[in-house]
Chain A
Protein backbone atom coordinates (compact mmCIF):
# COMPACT_ATOMS: atom_id res chain seq x y z
CA UNK A 1 0.00 0.00 0.00
CA UNK A 2 1.28 3.38 -0.85
CA UNK A 3 0.69 5.61 2.15
CA UNK A 4 0.70 8.74 0.09
CA UNK A 5 -2.44 7.69 -1.70
CA UNK A 6 -4.64 8.52 1.20
CA UNK A 7 -2.80 11.53 2.49
CA UNK A 8 -4.61 14.79 2.65
CA UNK A 9 -3.15 17.18 0.15
CA UNK A 10 -2.92 20.85 0.82
CA UNK A 11 -5.27 22.70 -1.44
CA UNK A 12 -3.11 25.66 -2.23
CA UNK A 13 -4.94 26.36 -5.45
CA UNK A 14 -8.35 26.00 -3.92
CA UNK A 15 -7.38 28.34 -1.12
CA UNK A 16 -6.98 30.98 -3.76
CA UNK A 17 -10.47 30.36 -5.07
CA UNK A 18 -13.07 33.03 -4.99
CA UNK A 19 -14.33 32.69 -1.45
CA UNK A 20 -10.86 33.13 -0.04
CA UNK A 21 -9.57 35.53 -2.63
CA UNK A 22 -8.45 37.91 0.02
CA UNK A 23 -6.09 35.60 1.85
CA UNK A 24 -5.19 38.24 4.36
CA UNK A 25 -8.55 37.89 5.97
CA UNK A 26 -7.58 34.43 7.12
CA UNK A 27 -4.86 32.70 9.00
CA UNK A 28 -3.71 29.45 7.47
CA UNK A 29 -3.15 27.28 10.55
CA UNK A 30 0.00 25.14 10.63
CA UNK A 31 -0.81 21.43 10.60
CA UNK A 32 0.74 18.04 11.19
CA UNK A 33 -0.66 15.17 9.19
CA UNK A 34 0.17 11.76 10.58
CA UNK A 35 -0.87 8.38 9.31
CA UNK A 36 -0.86 5.18 11.30
CA UNK A 37 -2.46 1.83 10.65
CA UNK A 38 -5.94 2.87 11.67
CA UNK A 39 -6.29 6.59 11.04
CA UNK A 40 -5.12 9.66 9.28
CA UNK A 41 -4.72 12.32 11.98
CA UNK A 42 -4.67 16.02 11.28
CA UNK A 43 -3.46 18.34 14.03
CA UNK A 44 -3.91 22.11 13.61
CA UNK A 45 -2.90 25.04 15.82
CA UNK A 46 -5.89 27.33 16.16
CA UNK A 47 -5.50 29.37 19.35
CA UNK A 48 -8.32 31.60 20.52
CA UNK A 49 -11.21 29.81 18.87
CA UNK A 50 -14.41 28.79 20.57
CA UNK A 51 -15.14 25.07 20.17
CA UNK A 52 -18.64 25.92 18.97
CA UNK A 53 -17.29 28.05 16.17
CA UNK A 54 -15.15 25.50 14.44
CA UNK A 55 -16.62 23.95 11.33
CA UNK A 56 -15.19 20.93 9.60
CA UNK A 57 -16.75 20.00 6.29
CA UNK A 58 -16.01 17.20 3.90
CA UNK A 59 -17.59 17.68 0.53
CA UNK A 60 -16.52 15.98 -2.68
CA UNK A 61 -13.35 14.79 -0.93
CA UNK A 62 -12.42 18.34 0.01
CA UNK A 63 -11.86 18.88 3.70
CA UNK A 64 -12.45 22.43 4.87
CA UNK A 65 -11.49 23.60 8.34
CA UNK A 66 -12.75 26.94 9.51
CA UNK A 67 -12.53 28.59 12.88
CA UNK A 68 -13.93 31.88 14.04
CA UNK A 69 -11.84 33.72 16.58
CA UNK A 70 -14.00 34.17 19.65
CA UNK A 71 -11.68 35.62 22.26
CA UNK A 72 -10.71 39.24 22.25
CA UNK A 73 -7.09 38.57 21.46
CA UNK A 74 -6.03 41.95 22.73
CA UNK A 75 -6.65 43.45 26.12
CA UNK A 76 -8.25 46.75 26.92
CA UNK A 77 -6.59 50.08 26.42
CA UNK A 78 -4.18 51.18 23.79
CA UNK A 79 -2.25 48.57 21.85
CA UNK A 80 1.43 49.29 22.30
CA UNK A 81 3.09 46.17 20.94
CA UNK A 82 1.66 43.81 18.35
CA UNK A 83 2.97 40.53 16.97
CA UNK A 84 -0.25 38.90 15.84
CA UNK A 85 -3.64 39.88 14.59
CA UNK A 86 -6.80 38.08 15.62
CA UNK A 87 -8.29 36.65 12.44
CA UNK A 88 -10.36 33.65 11.48
CA UNK A 89 -8.75 30.39 10.45
CA UNK A 90 -9.27 28.71 7.14
CA UNK A 91 -7.58 25.83 5.37
CA UNK A 92 -8.54 23.23 2.81
CA UNK A 93 -7.22 19.82 1.94
CA UNK A 94 -7.91 17.33 -0.77
CA UNK A 95 -8.70 13.95 0.70
CA UNK A 96 -7.74 11.09 -1.49
CA UNK A 97 -9.44 7.73 -1.53
CA UNK A 98 -9.45 5.36 1.37
CA UNK A 99 -10.94 7.52 4.13
CA UNK A 100 -14.09 6.58 5.94
CA UNK A 101 -15.46 10.11 5.95
CA UNK A 102 -18.54 9.32 8.02
CA UNK A 103 -16.49 8.10 10.95
CA UNK A 104 -14.35 11.25 11.33
CA UNK A 105 -13.92 12.55 14.88
CA UNK A 106 -12.63 15.90 16.08
CA UNK A 107 -11.43 17.30 19.39
CA UNK A 108 -10.36 20.80 20.39
CA UNK A 109 -8.13 21.20 23.46
CA UNK A 110 -5.82 24.04 24.51
CA UNK A 111 -6.14 25.73 21.15
CA UNK A 112 -5.25 22.64 19.13
CA UNK A 113 -7.66 20.85 16.83
CA UNK A 114 -7.17 17.11 16.40
CA UNK A 115 -9.11 15.52 13.57
CA UNK A 116 -9.11 11.76 13.27
CA UNK A 117 -10.08 10.32 9.91
CA UNK A 118 -10.33 6.53 10.08
CA UNK A 119 -9.15 4.61 7.08
CA UNK A 120 -11.66 2.59 5.13
CA UNK A 121 -11.31 -1.15 5.54
CA UNK A 122 -9.95 -1.51 2.04
CA UNK A 123 -7.09 0.90 2.74
CA UNK A 124 -5.82 -0.75 5.93
CA UNK A 125 -2.65 -2.75 5.64
CA UNK A 126 -3.34 -6.42 5.64
CA UNK A 127 -0.89 -9.15 6.05
CA UNK A 128 -1.33 -12.15 3.86
CA UNK A 129 -0.07 -15.36 5.21
CA UNK A 130 1.84 -17.48 2.85
CA UNK A 131 1.19 -21.11 3.21
CA UNK A 132 3.46 -23.67 1.90
CA UNK A 133 2.29 -26.92 0.47
CA UNK A 134 4.58 -29.81 0.36
Chain B
Protein backbone atom coordinates (compact mmCIF):
# COMPACT_ATOMS: atom_id res chain seq x y z
CA UNK B 1 0.00 0.00 0.00
CA UNK B 2 1.29 3.38 -0.87
CA UNK B 3 0.35 6.03 1.65
CA UNK B 4 0.41 9.60 0.66
CA UNK B 5 1.33 11.83 3.57
CA UNK B 6 0.83 15.54 3.19
CA UNK B 7 3.35 16.44 5.87
CA UNK B 8 6.04 14.27 4.36
CA UNK B 9 5.34 15.75 0.93
CA UNK B 10 5.56 19.27 2.30
CA UNK B 11 8.78 18.52 4.08
CA UNK B 12 10.28 17.12 0.88
CA UNK B 13 9.16 20.17 -1.03
CA UNK B 14 10.66 22.53 1.51
CA UNK B 15 13.93 20.68 1.28
CA UNK B 16 13.92 20.84 -2.50
CA UNK B 17 13.17 24.56 -2.42
CA UNK B 18 16.02 25.14 0.01
CA UNK B 19 18.28 23.24 -2.33
CA UNK B 20 17.21 25.29 -5.33
CA UNK B 21 17.79 28.56 -3.50
CA UNK B 22 21.15 27.44 -2.32
CA UNK B 23 22.20 26.55 -5.83
CA UNK B 24 20.96 29.79 -7.34
CA UNK B 25 23.47 32.40 -8.05
CA UNK B 26 22.19 35.13 -5.79
CA UNK B 27 23.13 32.99 -2.86
CA UNK B 28 26.70 32.90 -3.98
CA UNK B 29 27.85 35.59 -1.61
CA UNK B 30 26.47 33.59 1.27
CA UNK B 31 27.58 30.19 0.09
CA UNK B 32 31.16 31.26 0.40
CA UNK B 33 30.75 32.00 4.05
CA UNK B 34 31.83 29.54 6.62
CA UNK B 35 29.33 30.63 9.23
CA UNK B 36 26.39 32.84 8.53
CA UNK B 37 23.75 33.55 11.12
CA UNK B 38 20.82 34.03 8.80
CA UNK B 39 20.95 30.62 7.15
CA UNK B 40 22.92 28.74 9.69
CA UNK B 41 20.54 25.99 10.70
CA UNK B 42 22.38 23.35 8.77
CA UNK B 43 25.52 22.50 6.87
CA UNK B 44 27.94 23.79 9.44
CA UNK B 45 30.78 23.40 9.02
CA UNK B 46 31.26 23.56 5.26
CA UNK B 47 33.25 20.60 4.06
CA UNK B 48 35.16 19.37 1.06
CA UNK B 49 35.90 15.69 0.58
CA UNK B 50 38.42 14.15 -1.74
CA UNK B 51 39.78 10.65 -1.99
CA UNK B 52 42.31 8.39 -3.60
CA UNK B 53 42.73 4.61 -3.47
CA UNK B 54 44.11 4.65 0.09
CA UNK B 55 42.52 7.52 1.97
CA UNK B 56 39.62 9.90 2.27
CA UNK B 57 40.55 13.52 2.90
CA UNK B 58 38.11 15.81 4.58
CA UNK B 59 38.56 19.51 5.18
CA UNK B 60 36.16 21.73 7.07
CA UNK B 61 35.97 25.47 7.62
CA UNK B 62 35.84 26.21 11.34
CA UNK B 63 37.03 29.76 11.95
CA UNK B 64 36.99 30.76 15.59
CA UNK B 65 36.58 27.22 16.89
CA UNK B 66 39.27 26.15 19.32
CA UNK B 67 40.55 22.58 19.27
CA UNK B 68 39.20 21.88 22.77
CA UNK B 69 35.73 22.85 21.61
CA UNK B 70 35.72 20.48 18.67
CA UNK B 71 35.02 16.76 18.70
CA UNK B 72 35.21 14.26 15.93
CA UNK B 73 33.86 10.73 16.17
CA UNK B 74 34.10 7.94 13.65
CA UNK B 75 31.88 4.89 13.73
CA UNK B 76 32.19 2.49 10.80
CA UNK B 77 31.36 4.75 7.86
CA UNK B 78 29.89 7.66 9.78
CA UNK B 79 31.84 10.68 10.86
CA UNK B 80 30.38 13.15 13.30
CA UNK B 81 31.69 16.63 13.95
CA UNK B 82 30.37 18.42 16.99
CA UNK B 83 31.54 21.59 18.60
CA UNK B 84 30.89 25.09 19.62
CA UNK B 85 31.98 28.44 18.41
CA UNK B 86 32.18 30.85 21.29
CA UNK B 87 31.07 34.43 20.95
CA UNK B 88 34.20 36.53 20.67
CA UNK B 89 32.67 39.84 21.59
CA UNK B 90 29.98 39.35 24.19
CA UNK B 91 27.15 41.78 24.12
CA UNK B 92 27.59 44.33 26.83
CA UNK B 93 26.03 47.45 28.12
CA UNK B 94 28.70 49.71 26.72
CA UNK B 95 29.03 47.88 23.44
CA UNK B 96 27.24 48.77 20.27
CA UNK B 97 27.04 46.29 17.42
CA UNK B 98 27.16 48.11 14.13
CA UNK B 99 27.25 44.90 12.17
CA UNK B 100 26.64 41.29 13.13
CA UNK B 101 27.28 38.89 10.29
CA UNK B 102 29.12 36.16 12.14
CA UNK B 103 27.20 33.50 13.96
CA UNK B 104 28.11 31.64 17.11
CA UNK B 105 26.84 28.59 18.92
CA UNK B 106 26.85 24.82 18.84
CA UNK B 107 26.88 22.70 15.72
CA UNK B 108 26.63 19.06 14.79
CA UNK B 109 27.24 17.53 11.43
CA UNK B 110 27.14 13.91 10.40
CA UNK B 111 28.91 12.78 7.28
CA UNK B 112 28.15 9.39 5.86
CA UNK B 113 30.80 7.84 3.67
CA UNK B 114 30.01 5.10 1.16
CA UNK B 115 32.57 2.79 2.77
CA UNK B 116 34.10 2.06 6.14
CA UNK B 117 37.22 3.80 7.36
CA UNK B 118 39.92 2.80 9.79
CA UNK B 119 39.25 5.22 12.63
CA UNK B 120 42.30 4.16 14.63
CA UNK B 121 44.63 5.46 11.93
CA UNK B 122 42.84 8.73 11.31
CA UNK B 123 44.91 11.91 11.50
CA UNK B 124 43.30 15.30 12.14
CA UNK B 125 44.72 18.79 12.36
CA UNK B 126 43.08 22.13 13.10
CA UNK B 127 45.02 25.10 11.82
CA UNK B 128 43.98 28.67 11.05
CA UNK B 129 40.32 27.72 11.25
CA UNK B 130 40.58 24.81 8.83
CA UNK B 131 40.23 21.20 9.95
CA UNK B 132 42.05 18.66 7.82
CA UNK B 133 41.36 14.97 8.34
CA UNK B 134 42.97 11.98 6.67
CA UNK B 135 40.98 8.78 7.05
CA UNK B 136 42.49 5.55 5.74
CA UNK B 137 39.94 3.36 4.01
CA UNK B 138 39.25 0.03 5.66
CA UNK B 139 41.02 -2.89 4.00
CA UNK B 140 37.85 -4.26 2.46
CA UNK B 141 37.01 -0.88 0.97
CA UNK B 142 40.24 -0.54 -0.99
CA UNK B 143 40.12 -1.39 -4.66
CA UNK B 144 41.87 -4.62 -5.55
CA UNK B 145 43.33 -5.56 -8.82
CA UNK B 146 42.24 -8.86 -10.21
CA UNK B 147 44.83 -10.68 -12.27
CA UNK B 148 43.59 -11.86 -15.60
CA UNK B 149 44.82 -15.07 -17.09
CA UNK B 150 45.86 -14.88 -20.66
Contact = CB atoms under 8 A, between A and B. Distances in A.
Contacts of B126: 110
Interface in A76-106: 76-85, 87
A48 B31 CA distance: 16
B89 A78 contact: no
Contact of A24 (B28, B98, B102): B28
B61 interface: yes
Contacts of A57: none
Contacts of A112: 63-64, 88, 129
B110 to A, nearest CB: 14
Interface residues of A, number: 47
A61 interface: no
Contacts of A51: 128
Given A31-B101, A33-B97, A45 B50 contact: no
Interface residues on B, range: 35 or more
Contacts of A77: 50-52, 55, 57
Interface in A1-41: 3-4, 7-8, 10, 24, 27-37, 41
Given A32-B102, A87-B32, A110 B96 contact: no
5 contacts: A27-B33, A30-B102, A32-B88, A45-B102, A50-B128
Given A30-B101, A75-B134, A114-B88, 20 more contacts: A30-B36, A33-B97, A34-B97, A36-B96, A71-B128, A71-B130, A73-B59, A74-B57, A77-B51, A77-B52, A77-B57, A79-B49, A81-B49, A84-B32, A84-B34, A108-B128, A110-B62, A110-B126, A110-B128, A111-B128
Interface of A: 3-4, 7-8, 10, 24, 27-37, 41, 43, 45-51, 70-71, 73-85, 87, 108, 110-112, 114
